[in-house]
Copies of this chain bind each other. A is one copy, B any other.
């Protein structure tokens, strides 16, 4: 068995050796994803899609609880729509896919495959919005988007990905800002309580904000290699789009006013974040709340009478308690091989049931995150497993938090910043000048991530240029 284990583990490049190759090995070998035939595309295989379905279910419930409804807007957007908002077209035009022919005819106006849906949704909102009674208008869409990216990696950056995009209209600037921050908070709570990923919340710099937004806010997570991954964004669009798409309403006072708008999104790149935050040398480690299989039951000496029956009986009991369970009763694979395979696939708990366990009225369970083994009585197993799944979640969160703390430094000098971004996040004071930000990026490869809401200045001068400091902010290299 030790030998088999060795064989299995060596399929995955060690993290320390090459983190990037480790990531690719994990996502491909666990069969979460594969490369699509067109450069830069991915195929999300059932095991990866199962994670996405659980993400969708958890998020969708939160969107509905905050008053949003789902809708579906067309994939193909007239070129002229994209061009109406100047910053928006500048940001997106270089990276869209163009439909120029329909059936056998050349199109008079080319269409873009949506890279995001602000413009087409604005066109419809302008038609639907009449009076203050129609506000707020709050919709969300689950769909695919296409961005013609040059350098791609499965989940992290692909020319097509799946996401949700929320789009809301409000009567006042205050309500739009409140919505923007409310949805950022939904993302934070989701990242931490569902994905077990601690995040920094804050506002993006002008340079890093969404093309066409008045302000962008983000949640930023740290991967194990110290790089940042923007895991969700929430934009206050102000009246930028409302003015060019003529989204107006008749207010209570009898006057026509432009609406205030927000949009917010998260995507399948969150799956990449899960892999890079929680994975280890054995492979994937899935947070229990989005694990398609939470407990894998391995019958030991499955040919002996009663073993398989007991395994399926336990499965039925756990499933009745809402736990996602698989019995691995494949023949022709050793128990050791199966242990390794399910560890690689990141199943949060393994359960072993053999003749002696049945005799003793107990099972063996092993936590994926710590590999701790314990005996649990079959009686009351449901509650014991639920409790341990929560412990796995908590353990993963704490481990990620500690890693982030160990790789985040306060910098007051540029040398400290340069050293810090080689390891992880740098917390610093910054002048707010875009040219200074550009210089830091050019010299270090790091970008500004976001500015905490509660600003606690700890230096008077910019970490780079020495001019008066305006913002407390995080810098990091990013995915």
Residues of chain A touching chain B, judged by Cβ–Cβ distance below 8 Å, are: 34, 36-38, 41-46, 49-50, 52-53, 69-78, 81, 94-104, 110-111, 113, 120, 123-124, 127-128, 139, 143-144, 146, 148, 159-160, 162
Contacts of A97 in B (CB 8 A): 76, 99, 101-103, 111
CB atoms of B102 and A98 under 8 A apart: yes
- Alpha-carbon distance between A70 and B127 when the two chains are bound, in angstroms: 36
- Alpha-carbon distance between A403 and B197 when the two chains are bound, in angstroms: 57
Q: State how many angstroms separate the Cβ of A355 from the closest Cβ of chain B.
A: 27
Contacts of A34 in B (CB 8 A): 124, 127-128
Contacts of A123 in B (CB 8 A): 37
CB atoms of B36 and A120 under 8 A apart: yes
Given contacts A37-B123, A41-B76, A160-B76, contact A103 B148 (CB under 8 A): yes
Contacts of A139 in B (CB 8 A): 46
Given contacts A38-B74, A98-B100, contact A69 B81 (CB under 8 A): no
Closest 8 A/B residue pairs (Cβ): A46-B69, A98-B101, A44-B72, A103-B148, A41-B74, A102-B148, A36-B74, A100-B100
Contacts of A75 in B (CB 8 A): 113, 144, 146, 160
- Alpha-carbon distance between A111 and B41 when the two chains are bound, in angstroms: 13
- Alpha-carbon distance between A124 and B45 when the two chains are bound, in angstroms: 10
Contacts of A42 in B (CB 8 A): 74
Given contacts A34-B124, A113-B113, contact A43 B71 (CB under 8 A): yes
CB atoms of B49 and A71 under 8 A apart: yes
Which residue of B has the minimal Cβ distance to A162? B72
Contacts of A73 in B (CB 8 A): 36, 43
- Alpha-carbon distance between A139 and B74 when the two chains are bound, in angstroms: 25
Chain B CB within 10 Å, residue with most, of A69, A77, A78: A69
Which residue of B has the minimal Cβ distance to A96? B103
Contacts of A45 in B (CB 8 A): 71
Which residue of B has the minimal Cβ distance to A36? B74
Chain B CB within 10 Å, residue with most, of A49, A50, A103, A123: A103
Which residue of B has the minimal Cβ distance to A111? B38
CB atoms of B148 and A43 under 8 A apart: no
In the complex, which of the residues B37, B99, B103 contacts A120, with contact meaning CB atoms closer than 8 Å?
B37
Contacts of A50 in B (CB 8 A): 69-70
Contacts of A160 in B (CB 8 A): 74-76
Contacts of A111 in B (CB 8 A): 38, 97
CB atoms of B100 and A71 under 8 A apart: no
CB atoms of B94 and A103 under 8 A apart: yes
- Alpha-carbon distance between A162 and B144 when the two chains are bound, in angstroms: 12
CB atoms of B146 and A143 under 8 A apart: no
CB atoms of B98 and A94 under 8 A apart: no
Chain B CB within 10 Å, residue with most, of A34, A43, A94: A43
Which residue of B has the minimal Cβ distance to A119? B37
Q: State how many angstroms separate the Cβ of A123 from the closest Cβ of chain B.
A: 5
Can you list 27 residue pairs at the A/B interface with Cβ under 8 Å? Answer: A34-B128, A37-B81, A37-B120, A37-B123, A37-B124, A38-B74, A42-B74, A43-B73, A44-B72, A46-B139, A49-B70, A75-B113, A76-B113, A76-B146, A76-B160, A94-B104, A96-B103, A97-B111, A98-B99, A98-B100, A99-B113, A100-B100, A100-B101, A102-B148, A102-B159, A103-B148, A144-B144
Contacts of A110 in B (CB 8 A): 101
CB atoms of B143 and A144 under 8 A apart: yes
CB atoms of B37 and A78 under 8 A apart: yes
Given contacts A37-B81, A76-B38, A148-B102, contact A70 B53 (CB under 8 A): yes
Q: State how many angstroms separate the Cβ of A273 from the closest Cβ of chain B.
A: 18
Q: State how many angstroms separate the Cβ of A146 from the closest Cβ of chain B.
A: 7
Contacts of A53 in B (CB 8 A): 70
Q: A36-B74, A52-B72, A97-B99 are in contact. List 17 more A-B contacts (CB 8 A).
A: A37-B78, A37-B81, A37-B124, A38-B74, A43-B73, A43-B74, A49-B70, A50-B69, A74-B160, A75-B160, A76-B97, A97-B103, A98-B101, A98-B102, A101-B110, A113-B113, A144-B144
Q: State how many angstroms separate the Cβ of A342 from the closest Cβ of chain B.
A: 17
Contacts of A36 in B (CB 8 A): 73-74, 120, 124
Which residue of B has the minimal Cβ distance to A124? B43
